[in-house]
Amino acid sequence: MGFLLSKSMDANFKKQQEFMLHNSRLQLERQLLMQNQMRERQMAMQIAWSREFLRYFGSFFAVATVGLTAGAIKRKTPALLAPILPLGFVFAYQMDSAYGTLIYRMRGEAENILTSERDRLDLPQGIPTFESIEKARRAKSGLVSIFEK
């Protein structure tokens, strides 16, 4: 009788473990999907910001270029054209950021760093551990945790 009860409890325990594993897997998948959706939304906002900034900066660049060119012709001073060069570089960068291939080149460089320069990503003093976080928390609050006893 005890053997049958033990066998039944073992079967129930195994089913419970499988259920918990399945639930934790589902929760992890949902978290990964949510984090990816948040990343995609943040990237979309960044690209949208770049495009909006480009509209304003493009207008400024056009007005500045026309004004500086007119001033250089009117005063016969070619030095007035000098600011157009750095402003042109900024405009080109923003154009590349908003509509060009900058994001793809950045992604490629990031993948290169992740594969061949992994050591550049190490945190000072390594990854925080439970013990280091608990030690800092105790030092800040002046409390003694149950782990010290």
**pLDDT digits 0-9 by tens, 117-145:** 999 999 998 999 999 999 998 898 876 55
Tallying the residues shown for the chain, one arrives at: 149
Give me the pLDDT at residue 37, please.
97
The Cα-based distances of 96 to 28, 46, 57, 80, 140 in angstroms read: 36, 13, 13, 26, 47
**DSSP secondary structure letter of residue 36:** H
Give me the pLDDT at residue 24, please.
93
| Averages of pLDDT over each 10 residues, the chain, 149 residues | 71 90 94 97 96 97 97 95 97 96 96 96 91 90 60
pTM for this predicted structure = 0.69
Give me the pLDDT at residue 4, please.
66
Taking the alpha carbons of 100, 102, 105, 110 in that order, is the dihedral positive or negative?
negative
Give me the pLDDT at residue 84, please.
97
Distance CA 26, CA 37 (A): 16
The percent of the chain in helix, strand and coil, each rounded to the nearest 5, is 85, 0, 15
Give me the pLDDT at residue 146, please.
55
